Amino acid sequence: MSVEQSFAEHRGLVFSVAYRILGSATDAEDVVQEAWLRWSGVDRANVAAPRGYLARIAANLAVDRLRAEQARRETYYGPWLPEPILTEHDPATDAAAADSVSLAMLVVLETLSPLERAVFVLNEVFAFSHAEIAVALERSEAAVRQAAHRAREHVQARRPRFHPDPVSTQQAVERFFAAAAGGDLNALMELLAPDVTVWSDGGGKVRASRAPVTGAKKVAAWLSTWSTRPYEGVSYEEMSFRITEINGTPGLVIIAPDRVLGILTVELDDDGRIAGVHAVTNPDKLMAITEGQVHPVAVGEAAH
């Protein structure tokens, strides 16, 4: 097997590890390129397990990038949300893999330290042992176990408790879109949980709420007006909409004649009501959606 073929076999793993650690498809692609440069120069006779070797490279490169990025994210204009990607659902894929790439989960992972995030991703998502992670991240096994315990407790306390099937989520997205597009305040109120929150990431570059909007009445009022005025120079009549899988769950892509305007994904509570909405409209974060219209990313590690 050539060096190109061996890397191509594990390219999806490299991207998947890096994306879950970084929450950025653009940065994850840069990690893929850096990993390729390292892989192409290594003596592969000394690499017993290419999968583990490349996962180690991906994790270390991603952790370094995340540490360098943290200060910028702390001063970001408004809520910082991950860069969304289009995904493909494989029925054979464990539901946990889809959950691990959801915007809601990536937001939770953003609250971990870089080390905790890398350990959680490698252990919980990709089933690397603590011993393997210790070697990969050049930490003691005891330190890795402690980081894994802290990360697991932190994530369990903050992750969504209810994981509806894709059909239920798609139906909720369809009802939500119909009510918002029609400006139907009563229908929106029926769909929203009392403590629903909307996080809107425009990055200070397009119109978006700088602070989260919380509470059914406020959210419904905010959403019911979105189809009544142009958005960034595009009227509602000029927009088109596509319900597709975004980060492992059905979501809405909002499209102008010349560009993607944004995406929406929702979280449901155990009563099937919408408990959270993540809206990404920052143009810098929509490249993966634009380019992925033709080539969506698989939820698991095998593709990309």
- For the stretch 10-54, pLDDT in tens is 999 999 999 999 999 999 999 999 999 999 888 877 787 888 899
- CA dist., res. 301 & res. 171, Å (int): 28
pLDDT value, residue 295 = 43
Segment holding 255, helix H or strand E: strand 249-255
Which tokens is 271 given?
């009563």
**Mean predicted lDDT score pLDDT of the chain:** 88
pLDDT value, residue 141 = 97
Nearest to 38 by CA among 23, 26, 22, 55: 55
- CA dist., res. 12 & res. 17, Å (int): 9
pLDDT value, residue 270 = 87
pLDDT value, residue 95 = 61
- CA dist., res. 254 & res. 234, Å (int): 11
pLDDT value, residue 22 = 97
Beta-bridged to residue 88, according to DSSP, are 298
- CA dist., res. 115 & res. 66, Å (int): 10
pLDDT value, residue 227 = 77
Segment holding 230, helix H or strand E: none
- CA dist., res. 263 & res. 85, Å (int): 10
Is residue 150 a contact partner of residue 156, using CB atoms and an 8 Å limit? no
pLDDT value, residue 92 = 46
The pLDDT tens digits along the chain (304 residues) read 688 888 999 999 999 999 999 999 999 999 999 999 999 888 877 787 888 899 999 999 999 999 999 888 989 999 999 999 998 755 545 566 677 889 999 999 999 999 999 999 999 999 999 999 999 999 999 999 999 999 999 999 887 666 677 888 889 899 998 888 888 889 999 999 999 999 999 999 999 999 999 999 999 988 877 778 899 999 989 999 999 999 999 999 999 999 999 999 999 988 889 999 999 999 999 999 998 753 455 555 533 3
Kindly compute the dihedral angle of the four CA atoms of residues 208, 213, 218, 223, in this order, to the nearest 10 degrees. Answer: 40
DSSP code of residue 51: H
Nearest to 123 by CA among 165, 93, 155, 90: 155
